[in-house]
Structure 1
């Protein structure tokens, strides 16, 4: 696949606030998912966002949907990525597909990123304020430059404020205390998290220009809390 086609895919995604997030050709040792023809795919191009760029596009779409629609962001993402996949002869995949595909490993390989202490991949420009919304799987090889060598900003961070701001210490070197976090978010002291997002994530000083607005963070916390 020529770079020009990748540019065309980028233009199609931009209409929805989405961007390509790098890609690669699968190797012989990879557990390769099926491409559009049903055979193992030859290559993958990740699709995602930087900051909250898709939010207004998603909100306009959401106003036309039933009020009881479950997992609306996943549904919107599947619709948009699926449409672009159909236009360019690819098969769409979603991070919520089961059995789950290794999106984080793909992202690390495609963009050269590493996880932060919160588990979210640290991006040198976007910080923790980015996401992967899907992937395009192709039967042909795509011409993509390999990721540049990235500085992992977490290695340079001495104070690690992302591990010191949560009232219930949900994140630590031991991992993520899911039940403690969920109970706090749902409880009477969890209002700041419900309305403004994860305190640990917001404590990170990187990528502030891409930080999600409070209404976007509240949307994600509502989904996490099951409200």
Structure 2
């Protein structure tokens, strides 16, 4: 059985009602240990679900405002609720990047869209820049025939100045990797207010995808979640 183009269009429409989009898909190789689909049999195909810019933000905020009590990990909870409902409607299994044991979402994203990591570790998109995310995936036991992704232009290769490596006051990002503790101490400390209220300075200085930059309130939400780690 094959997942039809009409089904994929229906999934895209259902996700769009919540500000989410399909982020490409791929077929699992016959010799790899694919996760289970809706019935528990190994999945044959995956469709990635995510966002470009902050389109889901108002939908998420309305959902959050309707909750009778505080919700732990609210964005993950909302994403699971929305993507799970779409999965049930179309006979798929929904999985999330925060599920344990962790699934290789970054590898899946590379397979689906041909993206490469930026110096900040976030995958660089040729249109969205660093302002995009993957919120889940739909696993199908049926085949999905999608065109192979073309290798995307990796904008970081064309960027000679690399401002994203120069704006953090504690040099959290370097060729040695991400200095998690230094970043966390700074964000939590007395000089970290600009990061807490407006988001990561290194990420914000990137010149690509500026039209998709998350609004300050969304960035502050994500930074608060990071600072609670």
What is the TM-score when the length of structure 2 is the normalising length? 0.97
Task: Give 1:154's match in structure 2, choosing from 156, 167, 184.
Answer: 156
Pick the aligned partner of 1:99 from 98, 101, 105.
101
Question: Could you report, residue by residue, the CA deviation over 1:141-169 in whole angstroms, capped at 9, with x for unpaired residues?
Answer: 11222212311000111010000000000
Q: Deviations over 1:113-148 (max 9, x none)?
A: 000000000000000000000000001011222212
Number of the residue aligned with 2:83? 81
Rounded Cα–Cα distance in structure 1 between residues aligned with 2:69 and 2:127:
35
1:14 maps to 16
Deviations 1:77-107 (A, max 9, x none): 0000000000000000000000000000000
Aligned to 2:182: 180
* CA offset digits 1:47-81 (Å, max 9, x no partner): 00000000000000000114421100000000000
2:210 alignment counterpart? 208
How many Å separate the matches in 1 of 2:223 and 2:187?
A: 8
Give the structure 2 partner of residue 44 of structure 1: 46
Distance 2:191 2:68 in 1: 32
1:27 CA drift (Å)? 0.2
Checking the alignment, whether the CA contact within 8 Å between 2:115 and 2:151 is kept in structure 1 is no
What is residue 66 of structure 2 aligned with on the other side? 64
**1:193 match:** 195
Note the residue ranges of structure 1 that are not aligned, 5 or more in a row.
Answer: none
1-side partners of 2:220 and 2:125: how far apart?
A: 22
CA distance in structure 1 between the partners assigned to 2:114 and 2:151 by the alignment: 7
User: Which residue of 1 is the match for residue 222 of structure 2?
Assistant: 220
Distance 1:127 1:67 in 2: 35
Distance 1:79 1:103 in 2: 19
Counterpart of 1:115 (choices 117, 120, 123) is 117
Contact in 2 for aligned 1:3/1:144 (Cα 8 Å): no
Separation (CA, whole Å) in 2 of partners of 1:128 and 1:60: 25
Query: Equivalent residue for 1:168?
Result: 170
Asked if 2 retains the 8 angstrom alpha-carbon contact of 1:18 and 1:53, the reply is yes
How far apart, CA to CA, are the structure 1 residues paired with 2:107 and 2:131? Answer: 18
Q: TM-score, normalised by structure 1?
A: 0.98
Q: What is the RMSD computed on CA atoms of the aligned residues?
A: 1.0
1:25 pairs with one of 27, 30, 43: 27
Q: What CA distance in whole angstroms lies between the structure 2 residues aligned with 1:2 and 1:95? A: 26
